[in-house]
């Protein structure tokens, strides 16, 4: 096994110190990868790797965040000059340019070392549906690795790369993560471009990220999440979904009703889920048990509804003109895709929209929702005996995510008695990827498991929130208070409420009229009192845009708190004294309530 710790931070530190060089590491990893059974479809040779290594000559770990970082690419995602097969030789083509996401990662210094095995045409959650062989689980080859992104998950778990790319239409970026002790990011739809990706269901497809840690996943996501004008499904990454994000000391999460939990006879997985929920509570989580029926009903639409027609459309040339090129199980599943009528499609879309409304009402009640990533871990023998039925069971908790436009992160939380990995999925509304990754990191820091199937330790990379370390504490006293009219401006900038307190008895407050009435806090030498304030911790990268929106006579200065501490906060020019003096209320909230 490769002994070099390939987590991005460790690798960059080694490169920066000069104890390791990409020119020596990458050939070693290629040699190691060649020993892995049914993991790779194509590994780059020395001549093909050379341009990527040569491209590092004018770069460094200080200028390029993925400098010399090796990664794997699922073989339904294009890499320039290398065949894309989607695990079907007859389908193979050689692209002239790389997929948009791959190119962005390469520009950041990452080194692709090969294309990985997958369930043919990304149809499956098992990792056994490939003419290139069944990809064995990284912990026990008798068990499935999970699919369709099987090779990408196992290559990473075995320590051949630092991260890998998969795709996730119905769970393919989460189930393999669960089965191989990895973080699996199923990003919000459209956040990562699908230009240069062989479609499965084009309206639902996501490029997914496998990482050893939530921190690594975050690093890759922020580089890859760039808008692609050539992808009609591409979406801008909003300000609130950009790093850094802080977790709450007290948070809420939801789990399904007891009767909605399905483990398909796997008592070990049920026990591990119960442990994971208990751990979330111990970390400060308030558990709510909510009705997940809108999600579970939506999940059934994916294969029982007309969306299978998208898979048929994506493979139409092969399935109509050369059907024998497909594996029997793949052809059976996709072959039914020419049967739905247009009326079936619209009927399903109406039903999905209704379920989306219901599901959103559930999601908005908590900070995030929690489910097992998979309900059971099957052996390869079991899957081969019932390839379609058991595969469907694996999608029980995953199939609804893209249909309902949710973001989701699979995170390891434990091991069964027979030393097989287990994990949960955190999910919420679209564009909550960063927030979910922050909680995933919180879980991982608590568990301190070794990474993937390696013996590499999880190093603490907790966010530093001290002064000048990327955050600023801001005291607000008026319309930005929790629940007030402008509080959303803090929320969208990933600010976190850290304290409810009051000012020193040194201020007066005036009402400033306008489209949104605002308070003016003025320090005075006369008769003064204290006022209700909240202190919010905001990433400094968002502070400038926040200050830009502040209209005179208000501004940002230093506000003295009741404990004598000075923090940045809202103050006002003396001209604000022409407004109504509302100091008697001692609180903007009380003043508004009195009107």
Q: Of 386, 412, 447, which marks where a domain is finished?
A: 447
- Eight-class DSSP state of 235: -
DSSP one-letter code for 479: T
Asked if 302 and 395 count as a contact pair (C-beta separation under 8 A), the reply is: yes
Whether 506 contacts 574, CB under 8 Å: no
104, burial (CB in 10 Å: exposed 0-12, middle 13-18, buried 19+)? buried
466 part of a folded domain:
no
Q: Are residues 437 and 487 in the same domain?
A: no
CATH of residue 580: 3.10.490.10
Going by the DSSP 8-state scheme, the letter that residue 549 receives in this structure is: T
Burial of 498 (0-12, 13-18, 19+ CB in 10 A): middle
Give the model confidence (pLDDT) of 75-89 as tens digits: 999 999 999 999 999
Query: Residue 539 falls within a domain, yes or no?
Result: yes
- DSSP structural state of residue 351: H
Same domain, 45 and 191: yes
> Both 314 and 266 in a single domain?
yes
* Whether 386 and 527 share a structural domain: no
Residues 385 and 528 in one domain: no
Q: Do residues 166 and 71 share a domain?
A: yes
Q: Is residue 126 part of a domain?
A: yes
The answer to whether residue 435 is domain-embedded is: yes
* Strands of the sheet with 518-523, listed across from one edge: 518-523, 507-512, 580-581
Which pLDDT belongs to residue 467? 44
What is residue 466's predicted lDDT score, i.e. its pLDDT?
Answer: 45
CATH number at residue 197: 3.90.1300.10
pLDDT the model gives residue 1: 66
Range of the domain at 545: 471-594
- Is residue 534 a part of any domain in this protein? yes
216 to 71, 84, 174, 411, 438: CA distances (angstroms): 12, 26, 16, 13, 12
CA–CA gap between residue 30 and residue 477 (Å, rounded):
58
How many Å apart are CA 194 and CA 78, to the nearest integer?
A: 10
- Compute CA distances 359 → 132, 261, 365, 390, 492, whole Å: 39, 17, 11, 26, 22
- 390 and 528: one domain? no
If asked whether residues 255 and 403 sit together in one domain, one would say yes
- Separation in Å, CA 408 to CA 263, 426, 451, 463, 558: 20, 6, 20, 21, 40
Is 448 buried (19+), middle (13-18) or exposed (0-12) by CB count in 10 A? exposed
Residues involved in catalysis:
74, 148, 172
Neighbours of 274 (CB within 10 A): 12
Question: Residue 495: exposed, middle, or buried by beta-carbon count in 10 A (0-12, 13-18, 19+)?
Answer: buried
Nearest to 238 by CA among 427, 425, 435: 435
Ordered DSSP codes for 6-67: --HHHHHHHHHHTS--HHHHHHHHHHHHTTSTT-EEEE--HHHHHHHHHTTTT--TTT-TTT
Identify the CA nearest to 383 among candidates 170, 180, 125, 167: 125
Out of 447, 462, 479, a domain closes at 447
Does any domain span residue 476?
yes
Same domain, 477 and 443: no
Domain boundary among 447, 480, 511: 447
Under DSSP, is residue 82 helix (H, G, I), strand (E, B) or coil? strand
Is 250 in the same domain as 292?
yes
Query: What is the reported pLDDT for 576?
Result: 82
The reported pTM is: 0.86
Distances (CA, A) of 594 to 135, 528, 582, 591: 67, 21, 11, 5
What span, in angstroms and rounded, lies between the C-alpha atoms of 98 and 186?
Answer: 21
Q: Same domain, yes or no, for 433 and 536?
A: no
Separation CA 41–CA 463 (nearest Å):
38
What is the distance in angstroms between the CA of the first residue and the CA of the last residue of the chain?
70
Q: Token pair for residue 210?
A: 């496998």
**Alpha-carbon distance 593 to 595, whole Å?**
6
Stretches where the chain sits below pLDDT 50 are: 463-468
- What integer pLDDT is reported at residue 465 of this predicted model? 44
Q: Parallel, antiparallel, or unpaired for β 368-372 and 421-429?
A: antiparallel
Token pair belonging to 184: 């699996």
Is 452 a domain residue? no
Confirm whether 222 is domain-assigned.
yes
Total number of domains constituting the chain:
2
pLDDT at res. 492: 84
Question: Are residues 294 and 374 part of one domain?
Answer: yes
Q: Do the beta carbons of residue 2 and residue 46 sit within 8 Å?
A: no
Angstrom distance (rounded) from CA 334 to CA 467: 56
């Amino acid at each position: 096994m490769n002994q070099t710790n390939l987590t991005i931070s460790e690798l960059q530190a080694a490169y920066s110190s000069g104890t390791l060089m990409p020119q020596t590491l990458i050939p070693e990893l290629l040699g190691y990868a060649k020993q892995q059974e049914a993991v790779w479809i194509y590994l780059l040779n020395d001549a093909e790797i050379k341009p990527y290594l040569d491209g590092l000559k004018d770069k460094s770990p200080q200028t390029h965040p993925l400098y010399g970082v090796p990664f794997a690419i699922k073989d339904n995602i294009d890499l320039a000059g290398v065949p894309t097969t989607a695990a079907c030789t007859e389908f193979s083509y050689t692209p002239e340019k790389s997929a948009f996401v791959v190119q962005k990662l390469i520009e950041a210094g990452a080194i692709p070392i090969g294309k990985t095995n997958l369930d043919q045409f990304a149809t499956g959650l098992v990792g056994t549906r490939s003419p290139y062989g069944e990809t064995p689980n990284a912990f026990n080859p008798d068990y499935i690795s999970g699919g369709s992104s099987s090779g990408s998950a196992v290559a990473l778990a075995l320590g051949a790369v630092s991260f890998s790319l998969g795709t996730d239409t119905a769970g393919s970026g989460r189930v393999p993560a669960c089965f191989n002790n990895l973080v699996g990011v199923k990003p919000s739809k459209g956040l990562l471009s699908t230009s240069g990706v062989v479609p499965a269901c084009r309206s639902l497809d996501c490029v997914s990220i496998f990482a050893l840690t939530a921190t690594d996943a975050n690093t890759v996501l922020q580089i890859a999440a760039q808008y692609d004008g050539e992808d009609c499904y591409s979406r801008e990454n909003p300000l609130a979904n950009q790093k850094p994000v802080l977790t709450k000391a007290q948070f809420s999460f939801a789990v399904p009703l007891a009767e909605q939990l399905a483990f398909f006879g796997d008592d070990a997985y049920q026990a591990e889920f119960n442990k994971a929920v208990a751990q979330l509570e111990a970390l400060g989580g308030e558990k709510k048990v909510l009705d997940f029926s809108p999600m579970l009903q939506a999940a059934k639409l994916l294969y029982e509804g007309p969306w299978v027609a998208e898979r048929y459309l994506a493979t139409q040339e092969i399935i109509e003109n050369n059907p024998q090129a497909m594996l029997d199980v793949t052809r059976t599943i996709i072959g039914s895709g020419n049967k739905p009528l247009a009326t079936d499609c619209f009927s399903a879309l109406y039903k999905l929209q209704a379920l989306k409304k219901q599901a959103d009402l559930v999601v908005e009640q908590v900070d995030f929702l929690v489910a097992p990533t998979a309900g059971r871990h099957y052996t390869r023998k079991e899957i081969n005996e019932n390839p379609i039925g058991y595969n469907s069971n694996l999608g029980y908790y995953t199939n609804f995510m893209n249909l309902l436009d949710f973001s989701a992160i699979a995170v390891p939380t434990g091991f069964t008695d027979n030393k097989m990995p287990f994990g949960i999925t955190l999910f919420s509304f679209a564009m909550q990827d960063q927030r979910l990754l922050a909680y995933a990191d919180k879980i991982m820091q608590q568990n301190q498991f070794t990474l993937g199937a390696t013996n590499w330790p999880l190093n603490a990379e907790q966010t530093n929130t001290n002064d000048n370390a990327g955050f600023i504490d801001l005291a607000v006293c008026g319309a930005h208070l929790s629940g007030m009219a402008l509080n959303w401006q803090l929320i969208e900038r990933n600010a976190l409420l850290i304290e409810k307190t009051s000012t020193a008895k040194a201020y007066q407050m005036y009402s400033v009229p306008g489209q949104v009435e605002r308070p003016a806090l003025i320090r005075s030498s006369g008769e003064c009192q204290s006022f209700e304030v909240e202190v919010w911790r905001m990433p400094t990268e968002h502070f400038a845009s926040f200050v830009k929106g502040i209209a005179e006579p208000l501004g940002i200065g230093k506000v003295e708190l009741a404990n004598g501490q000075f923090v940045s906060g809202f103050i006002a020019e003396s001209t604000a004294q022409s407004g109504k003096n509302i100091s008697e209320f001692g609180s903007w909230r009380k003043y508004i309530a009195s009107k």
